[in-house]
Structure 1
Amino acid sequence: MIARRSIVVGVDGSPSALQAVAWAAQEAFRRHVPLSILAGMPNRSTYGVPIGLSDSFFEQQELEAHAHLAEAVDRARKTVREETFAIDTRLGWGGPIHELIECSTSALMVVVGGGRRNVLERMFLGSVSAAVVAHAHAPVVVVRDLPHVEVTDITGPVVVGVDGSDAGERAVTAAFEEAALRGVELVAVHAWSDLTVRSPFQVGIDWETMETSEKVLLSESLAGYAERYPDVPVRPVMVMDQPAHNLREQAAHAQLLVIGRRGRGGFSGMLLGSTSRALIHTVTCPLLIVR
């Protein structure tokens, strides 16, 4: 049974999932909440009934899932060496994506590894991280496996993408909370155009007026937080275009990047914006996506 208001982390035995477990354990301990570890069993419809996989295949999958849970608990215990730290586990039978989304209705946060281990898994299951980000009811953190780097050892500021949208505003609030929790600087990055270049053919555009207006937007987006978070130093960064590229550059020296799930300019039916979609599998530090 998954504890309410816990940090939920999905595991599949991959290196990125174990990094996600370590990060989730550290964050759960920091927040004084339980850690819930979930291994999602692939149901038969996941692989397609016509394939005709035998019962022994699914029995083997269950054995491996239990082994993944045990390995994850061991990793969490090595990360947080505190006997009172609460950890619970669950073997879900609806497939990893369904189970994580279901758990997100009562979770404080959902944490997933950033990518499948091989082409076969991606073909059958797709990207679990992208699907969970798109449909989860709680904030989602995507943690990649980085060679020779423990995710719990990553230091630096918290970086947030600011775009003036409602989702961007919630991301700014979450970023201030994360920076305050860690006692670090907050870098607020505002890319004030979605264009990739300033084309000479874009005549009749008053770029100076636009830039001045966007500086006001950035200032207004950060206004009011100084009183609520007086101990969080803020460094605003203005760039003209390519929000994903600039956020990725800032995140290279950060311990956490925070963005909204869908920012300005997205159609109302879109669950993921272009920036969040671009960053999920490429950013090097843990990525927090706020609904």
Structure 2
Amino acid sequence: MSDPVIVGVDGSASSIGAVEAAAREAHLRGAGLRIVHAFGHGLGRLPTGGPPWNPADHGLEPMARGALARAEERARAIAPDIEITRSVVAGEALEVLEIESRSASLAVVGSRGLGSFAGLLLGSTAVHLAAHGRCPLMVVRGRPDPAGPVVLAVDGSEAGEAAVEFAFAEAALRKVPLVAVHVWNTWSERAYEGPGDPLTAVVADADRLLEAEQHLLDETVASWQKVHPQVEVERRLVRSRIRPALTDASRGAQLVVAGARGRGGFTGLLLGSVSQALLHHAHCPVTVVRGKE
């Protein structure tokens, strides 16, 4: 059996949606599901001058275990055949999930939450988790089309190769088509979106740039299409601004997959602006995949 799928829960409606998605993912992979609830002070933030903080002393542990029991009940309704474990952990959600991700095949969270997971997509928390987690992170948001394709954001970067591999495998597991979307504009030649209008700026050889971008898309898809010949692939080359185009491409999809950092990022940046934009604005769940260490 592969490494488990982990899901963070807090009793909110958003986290129950994450449990449902995580249970389906575990079923598809033939993996177990680990349901985690984290609350309390984070590591290095414990109160000084007093005894260690214990959730049981505050009457919170029974409440947390009740939330876990409800989450497990929902997971079993979705995938009754999977092995489920659950855990209550004292600590901040970010720290707990980061540690849990070290032994997981996929981490799943909701887009909004309560308690320890409150504001997961507000501020730097989800960005940090997507950038530093040790496995792909799925954020359950929007309204996915269960009959829709898996959408892959193609950027041609070496770091993005892991996202391509994940997207093909996910489409194969779900038995749905894959739409590989590569967005380009006149700034593509310089690998960033600089000042001015990238849609109207003039380049020396527009035909050569278009040919190069099509070649990038074809080369990115070709090798993995051989690995997964059963996956129907649509290659979509789009001239537009990158972030809004990919957000629009997520309409009607059941999942969008992106690398944590593409070729347009600054050196040393662990999570690019495209991934961040999708986490906040996509119309369906988003999986961010880091490059292989």
1:112 equivalent among 106, 109, 114? 109
CA distance in 2, matches of 1:9, 1:100: 8
CA distance in 2, matches of 1:4, 1:41: 28
Is contact 1:46–1:95 with CA below 8 Å preserved after alignment? no
Letter in 2 for 1:271: L
CA-CA distance at 1:154 after TM superposition? 2.4
Check if 1:92 corresponds to 2:89: yes
2:9 equivalent among 8, 11, 14? 11
2:146 matched to which residue of 1?
Answer: 154
1:285 matched to which residue of 2?
Answer: 284
CA-CA distance at 1:56 after TM superposition? 8.6
Check if 1:131 corresponds to 2:128: yes
Q: Deviations over 1:45-78 (max 9, x none)?
A: 798859x9x9899724433322221111111011
2:246 matched to which residue of 1?
Answer: 247
2:178 equivalent among 186, 190, 198? 186
CA distance in 1, matches of 2:10, 2:101: 18
CA distance in 2, matches of 1:242, 1:278: 12
- Of stretches 220-229 and 28-37 in structure 1, the one that deviates more from structure 2 is 220-229
CA distance in 1, matches of 2:179, 2:26: 24
2:198 matched to which residue of 1?
Answer: 198
Q: Which sections of structure 1, spanning at least 5 residues, go unmatched?
A: none
Is contact 1:115–1:127 with CA below 8 Å preserved after alignment? no
Q: Match of 2:134, SS?
A: coil
Is contact 2:242–2:274 with CA below 8 Å preserved after alignment? yes
Q: Deviations over 1:181-232 (max 9, x none)?
A: 11111100001235483365x4553222111111111111112233221111
2:221 matched to which residue of 1?
Answer: 222
Is contact 1:251–1:284 with CA below 8 Å preserved after alignment? yes
Letter in 1 for 2:154: V
Letter in 2 for 1:198: P
- Of stretches 243-252 and 93-102 in structure 1, the one that deviates more from structure 2 is 243-252
Please report the TM-score for the alignment, with normalisation by the length of structure 1.
0.85
1:165 equivalent among 141, 144, 157? 157
CA distance in 2, matches of 1:14, 1:132: 20
1:21 matched to which residue of 2?
Answer: 19
Q: Which sections of structure 2, spanning at least 5 residues, go unmatched?
A: none
Is contact 2:150–2:177 with CA below 8 Å preserved after alignment? yes
Change (3 A) 1:47 1:157: same
CA-CA distance at 1:80 after TM superposition? 1.5
CA-CA distance at 1:79 after TM superposition? 1.1
Q: Match of 1:272, SS?
A: coil
Q: Match of 2:265, SS?
A: coil
CA distance in 2, matches of 1:231, 1:6: 25
Q: Match of 1:40, SS?
A: strand
Is contact 1:113–1:129 with CA below 8 Å preserved after alignment? no
Is contact 1:41–1:62 with CA below 8 Å preserved after alignment? no
Q: Match of 1:36, SS?
A: strand
CA distance in 1, matches of 2:259, 2:105: 16
Letter in 2 for 1:249: D
Q: Match of 1:280, SS?
A: helix
Alignment root-mean-square deviation, CA: 2.8
Q: Match of 2:91, SS?
A: coil
CA-CA distance at 1:163 after TM superposition? 0.6
Identity level (%): 39
